[in-house]
């Protein structure tokens, strides 16, 4: 890592000498490691977080985020604790939480829900581009090339591009940016306990609430902590249009976590909380549901509801300004059965 930093500094100096005005290099990702309780840590990569338990015989790590972060984390774990990562437990297969596991493949076994492997498989070759990709296909050839790609299709083209032809076809776009997701060695159905160095960790399936069909939470019983991702965030409003189309299933999957025995809630997104923080996230969804339902019953439009359903009690939550109106739209669609 040190060599990389030196090399990058050299490039910045070279650029500054050759080009005027000086181009300020973008800052790297924000990374940190904080101890939650004895032996249990939360590591950050910008807005994404993982959690890991250190034992005498190695580390049990929940989620990997991406290859660059995993390489950094592997070095940090080695230098701080001097033990290898022995298990990687996946919350779910999505690209922004599950890429990078190959970094740990020399020492770790990988565990995920039994629905996980099928989500890594490419769909049939004639699968059309999904809507968010089709709108980028300027030349209409059914593929996204590097000149057409924007956003995550541009940033992660190499993670979509299974056949390595430099383009994203419909099957690749539909599967997602999963090229660096290491498949699990072990899958489980409902619940599995991993023991290492005299400690135990449980991974529990929380049901299909439609964010994905392979979502699990990781419980650290001795540490009285739980790690949960995406379908529960803490101190942050739900992602955009909520990413669910089965509201009762979503609420039940949240309640399932509330039934667990823990004091520390360590989310993939947002801030560390406790059991009441998990309940608060559910209460947000329930209040949103009730107020949007009342508005629909009163004949209000989506635009009117986005004005009136202000969810003021949550105004200090992360992304309240940007995502609350999208949350209202998502809830409106959920309650009126509009396609998500």
Choose one: 59-67, 92-100, 175-183, 288-296; the region binding Zn ion (CB under 5 A).
92-100
Q: Is 230 in the site for Zn ion (CB under 5 A)?
A: yes
Q: Residue 167 or residue 229: which is nearer to Zn ion going by CB?
A: 229
Choose one: 90-98, 114-122, 217-225, 292-300; the region binding Zn ion (CB under 5 A).
90-98
Q: Residue 94 or residue 113: which is nearer to Zn ion going by CB?
A: 94
By CB neighbour count within 10 A (0-12 exposed, 13-18 middle, 19+ buried), where does 331 fall?
Answer: buried
Q: How far is the CB of 119 from Zn ion (least distance, A)?
A: 11
Q: Residue 88 or residue 292: which is nearer to Zn ion going by CB?
A: 88
Choose one: 1-9, 14-22, 230-238, 260-268; the region binding Zn ion (CB under 5 A).
230-238
Choose one: 12-20, 28-36, 229-237, 291-299; the region binding Zn ion (CB under 5 A).
229-237
Q: Residue 115 or residue 143: which is nearer to Zn ion going by CB?
A: 115
Quick one: which of 66, 51, 95, 57 has its CA closest to 219?
51
How many residues touch Zn ion under the rule CB under 5 A: the total is: 2
Q: How far is the CB of 310 from Zn ion (least distance, A)?
A: 27
Q: How far is the CB of 229 from Zn ion (least distance, A)?
A: 7
Choose one: 57-65, 94-102, 268-276, 317-325; the region binding Zn ion (CB under 5 A).
94-102
Q: Is 94 in the site for Zn ion (CB under 5 A)?
A: yes
Q: How far is the CB of 215 from Zn ion (least distance, A)?
A: 8
Q: Residue 61 or residue 98: which is nearer to Zn ion going by CB?
A: 98
Q: How far is the CB of 109 from Zn ion (least distance, A)?
A: 23
- For residues 133 and 150, what is the distance between their CA atoms, to the nearest angstrom? 9
Q: Residue 36 or residue 228: which is nearer to Zn ion going by CB?
A: 228
Q: Residue 4 or residue 132: which is nearer to Zn ion going by CB?
A: 132
Q: How far is the CB of 96 from Zn ion (least distance, A)?
A: 7
Q: Residue 65 or residue 136: which is nearer to Zn ion going by CB?
A: 65
Q: How far is the CB of 243 from Zn ion (least distance, A)?
A: 7
- For residues 197 and 204, what is the distance between their CA atoms, to the nearest angstrom? 21
Residue nearest to Zn ion (CB): 94
Q: How far is the CB of 181 from Zn ion (least distance, A)?
A: 12
User: Buried b / exposed e across 299-318, counting CB within 10 Å, b at 16+?
Assistant: ebebeebbeebebeebeebb
Q: Residue 143 or residue 216: which is nearer to Zn ion going by CB?
A: 216
**Lookup: tokens for 231:** 């379908």
Choose one: 103-111, 134-142, 151-159, 226-234; the region binding Zn ion (CB under 5 A).
226-234
Choose one: 70-78, 88-96, 202-210, 259-267; the region binding Zn ion (CB under 5 A).
88-96
Quick one: which of 304, 223, 226 has its CA closest to 272?
226
Q: How far is the CB of 5 from Zn ion (least distance, A)?
A: 31
Residues that bind Zn ion (CB under 5 A): 94, 230
């Amino acid at each position: 890592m040190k060599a990389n930093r030196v090399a990058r500094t050299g490039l910045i100096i070279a650029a500054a000498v050759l080009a005027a005005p000086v181009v300020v290099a973008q800052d790297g990702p924000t990374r940190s490691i904080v101890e939650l309780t004895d032996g249990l840590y939360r590591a950050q990569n910008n807005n994404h977080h993982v959690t890991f338990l250190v034992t005498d015989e190695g580390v049990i790590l929940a989620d990997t985020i991406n290859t660059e972060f995993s390489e950094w984390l592997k070095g940090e774990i080695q230098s701080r604790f001097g033990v290898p990562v022995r298990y990687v437990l996946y919350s779910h297969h999505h690209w922004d939480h599950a890429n990078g596991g190959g970094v740990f493949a020399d020492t770790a076994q990988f565990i995920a829900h039994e629905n996980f492997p099928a989500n890594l498989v490419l769909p049939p070759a004639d699968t059309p581009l999904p809507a968010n990709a089709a709108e980028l296909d300027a030349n209409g050839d059914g593929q996204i090339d590097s000149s057409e790609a924007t956003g995550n299709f541009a940033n992660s083209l190499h993670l979509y591009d299974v056949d390595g032809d430099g383009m994203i076809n419909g099957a690749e776009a539909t599967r997602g940016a999963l090229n660096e997701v290491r498949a699990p060695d072990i899958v489980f159905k409902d619940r599995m306990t991993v023991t290492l160095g005299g400690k135990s960790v449980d991974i529990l399936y929380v049901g299909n609430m439609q964010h994905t069909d392979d979502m699990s939470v990781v419980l650290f019983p001795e540490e009285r902590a739980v790690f949960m991702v995406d379908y529960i965030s803490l101190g942050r409003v739900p992602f955009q249009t909520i990413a669910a189309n089965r509201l009762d299933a979503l609420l039940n999957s949240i309640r399932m976590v509330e039934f667990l025995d823990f004091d520390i809630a360590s989310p993939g997104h947002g801030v560390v909380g406790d059991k009441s923080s998990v309940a608060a996230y559910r209460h947000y969804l329930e209040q949103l549901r009730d107020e949007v339902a009342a508005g629909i019953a009163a004949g209000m439009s989506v635009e009117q509801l986005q004005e009136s359903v202000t969810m003021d009690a949550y105004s200090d939550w992360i992304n309240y300004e940007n995502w609350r109106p999208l949350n209202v739209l998502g809830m409106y669609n959920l309650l009126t059965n509009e396609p998500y």
